[in-house]
């Protein structure tokens, strides 16, 4: 079964809007696991506008499933990964002030940089690279030494209602290339209750999806427990 990792950045955003500790990020992470999530994802950006460095350290001892830490591999991020030793480090090519991830790595242009970083991080955890559904970028992710790639799925989500089959084709091809390269396969960005099941049904080698924004939005209406149940049902 494809694992569901819940990205709790938006919970931290809501908490930070008022200060204090409401909602309680730690309790939400515990509840996500209790309700069936098989992982927790965070992205501690340098400006700490949602997840803070302190949050990452506070979460480490309470997470009993897989802890996935996303981020641009600068010195700060590398220090966090080495100290926390999560199950997975997901490398994203975000600029410091970027609102959200909006493209994958060019693994060819950044080959030397990524190769050195991955070699260093693989001593402490599994390493995934955030990439577009581009065969060349996936092949070079393997050359860089990655364990997995995470497919950036915004184009699929945007085009799903227009023609879901056409929207999915690049990702089916990308999934096959990843398998041929002996890479694990993750996916994330704008996956939702509307489009997740079809995506999952057609990518049989999918190891993990990381979902935050849509899941948290759905939980405002459905409640967190029911929302996680529905996302897990999409992955059966």
| Residues with active-site annotation | 43, 70, 189
Q: Is residue 51 classed as helix, strand or coil in its secondary structure?
A: coil
How far is the CA of 142 from the CAs of 37, 73, 127, in angstroms?
28, 18, 11
Residue 125 has which token pair?
């955890």
How many other C-beta atoms can be found within 10 angstroms of the C-beta atom of residue 208? Answer: 24
Tell me if 194 sits within 8 A of 232, measured CB to CB: no
Stated length of the chain: 236
* Residue that is written with structure tokens 């393997």 in the block: 142
């Amino acid at each position: 079964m494809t694992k569901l990792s819940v990205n709790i950045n938006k919970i931290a955003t809501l908490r930070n809007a008022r200060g204090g500790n409401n909602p309680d990020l730690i309790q939400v992470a515990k509840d996500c696991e209790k309700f069936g999530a098989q992982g927790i994802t965070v992205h501690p950006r340098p400006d700490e506008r949602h997840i803070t460095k302190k949050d990452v350290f506070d979460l480490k001892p309470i997470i009993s499933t897989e802890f996935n830490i996303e981020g641009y591999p600068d010195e700060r991020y590398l220090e966090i990964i080495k100290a926390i030793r999560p199950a997975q480090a997901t490398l994203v090519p975000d600029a410091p002030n970027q609102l959200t991830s909006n493209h994958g790595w060019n693994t060819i242009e950044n080959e030397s940089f990524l190769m050195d970083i991955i070699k260093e991080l693989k001593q402490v955890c599994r390493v995934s690279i955030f990439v577009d559904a581009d065969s060349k970028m996936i092949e070079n992710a393997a050359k860089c030494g990655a364990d997995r790639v995470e497919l950036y799925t915004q184009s699929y989500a945007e085009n799903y209602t227009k023609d879901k089959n056409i929207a999915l084709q690049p990702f089916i091809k990308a999934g096959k290339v990843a398998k041929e390269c002996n890479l694990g396969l993750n996916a994330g960005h704008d996956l939702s209750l509307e489009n997740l099941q079809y995506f999952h049904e057609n990518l049989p080698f999918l190891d993990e999806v990381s979902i935050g924004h849509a899941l948290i939005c759905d939980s405002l209406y459905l409640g967190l427990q029911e929302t996680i149940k529905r996302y897990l049902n999409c992955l059966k």
